[in-house]
Structure 1
Amino acid sequence: MSSLPLGAIAANLQRERARVGWSMTELARRAGVAKSTLSQLEAASGNPSLETLWALATALGVSFAQLVGSQSTDVTVIRAGEGPRAATELGGYVATLLSASPPGARRDLYLIDAERESPRRADPHPAGTIEHVVLCSGRALVGPTDDPVTLEPGDFITYAGDAPHVFEALESGTRAVLISEQR
């Protein structure tokens, strides 16, 4: 189901790894992923999970979108069901990148599709990350792991993304817009 731009991911990983001066072995160690997985990604192959990409982004100190996005100044239209999508390893949670933050800007925009019984428990993102969520349909438990809030369609929440947090669909077909802001 992945429609991730593997070529862009490969180029972005190589660029960011070179920026910090790490070997593949060092980045794999810091991200807690297998070196073979990283090697596949830098060769533009494989099918990375959302967890793997987040771990790599966090280790490199960049946003998820900086790894999966390509920069464009043209008009961009992403039709429903299209766009670079990353799913969790166990399924039931898919993040579609709608807009990657260009250099100098500090926000990324995602469309989240989540199913019941597939909670997304996220490890802390880079320091200063704030997440904003608007629930479009369904119901969800969202926010800090130790104090999540039940959202109904149209509800909005903001919380620290640099602390453990959760997005758990309480109904099938739950959909939200998530904005990840790096301060």
Structure 2
Amino acid sequence: MADRDPKKTELDAGAHVLSGNLGKTVQRLRKAYNLSLSELSEQSGVAKSIISQIERNETNPTLATIWRLSQALDVSIERVLATATEEPFLEKLSRADTPLLVSDDGKCRLSIIGWIKTVEWLQWYDFQCDPGGVLESDGHQRGSIESLSVLSGELTVEVADRVEVVGPGESARYRCDGRHVIRNRGTTPAHAVMVCILKAAVME
């Protein structure tokens, strides 16, 4: 993946939630627990002013902020983000609104195209890597699996002492609960789709 700490970095990477019902949901849950803004702020570590802005839908909080609020309210992120009604669902995200992660060397870019509600267990990205680019990642939780499907160019995947070269139309699937590295050793840019299953069954 794109981050050394797979969950925290993504949560803090500036991925924003666009949900008209988010503020109402947070306010409803806070009042259900009979919490004041100050009390929820103290329990969550989120500034009182930020919570107030969220409830008024005046800001798009990061996933990290929503995570802290969900923990303080003792509910899942999915429930916090859930819509208030069962209306038909169709969502479009523009390129400008799609969160982007960049590797340390600046040569690898991962657009977060996965659904925000699945971030705790399923993440997927549009991955582009310039020649010479290196994406080094520490391990995710035990049993996690990553799948890399190359659309163009060529990428090398390194997992422990295993190395595989993946070309156009090919996919590599591997355990990502240990350090893993993706490199572009070629002379042309590479483009791939990356999916990470964070709660896969443990493989012995």
Give the counterpart letter for 1:97 in structure 2. I
Give the counterpart letter for 1:14 in structure 2. T
- In 1: Cα distance, 2:128 partner to 2:149 partner: 12
* Contact 1:114–1:169 (CA under 8 A) maintained in structure 2: yes
Equivalent in the alignment of 2:173: 158
1:5, distance to aligned residue in structure 2 (A):
3.9
C-alpha change, 1:168 and 1:82, in structure 2 (3 Å) is farther
Q: Which has the higher strand share?
A: 1
Per-residue CA distance 1:27-47 (angstroms, 9 max, x = gap): xxxxxxxxxxxxxxxxxxxxx
- Structure 1 residues 102-181: aligned runs within 5 Å: 102=117, 106-171=121-186, 172-181=188-197
C-alpha change, 1:20 and 1:178, in structure 2 (3 Å) is same
Give the counterpart letter for 2:173 in structure 1. T
The residue matched to 1:94 in structure 2 has which SS? Answer: strand
C-alpha change, 1:82 and 1:145, in structure 2 (3 Å) is farther
Match of 2:101 among 86, 93, 102: 86
The residue matched to 1:99 in structure 2 has which SS? Answer: coil
Equivalent in the alignment of 1:12: 63
Per-residue CA distance 1:110-151 (angstroms, 9 max, x = gap): 110001212111111122211011100001101414212001
Q: Sequence identity of aligned pairs in percent?
A: 16
The residue matched to 2:140 in structure 1 has which SS? Answer: coil
Per-residue CA distance 1:52-85 (angstroms, 9 max, x = gap): xxxxxxxxxxxxxx8xxx8788423456686211
Unaligned stretches of 5+ in structure 2?
A: 1-12, 19-59, 200-204
- In 2: Cα distance, 1:110 partner to 1:19 partner: 24
Residues 1:182 and 2:198 are matched in the alignment: yes
Residues matched between the structures, number: 134
Bigger Cα displacement from structure 2, 92-101 vs 156-165: 92-101
C-alpha change, 1:102 and 1:80, in structure 2 (3 Å) is closer
* Contact 2:140–2:198 (CA under 8 A) maintained in structure 1: no
Unaligned stretches of 5+ in structure 1?
A: 22-65
C-alpha change, 1:11 and 1:143, in structure 2 (3 Å) is same
TM-score (norm 1): 0.60
Equivalent in the alignment of 1:32: none
Equivalent in the alignment of 2:49: none
- In 2: Cα distance, 1:71 partner to 1:135 partner: 33
1:177, distance to aligned residue in structure 2 (A):
0.4
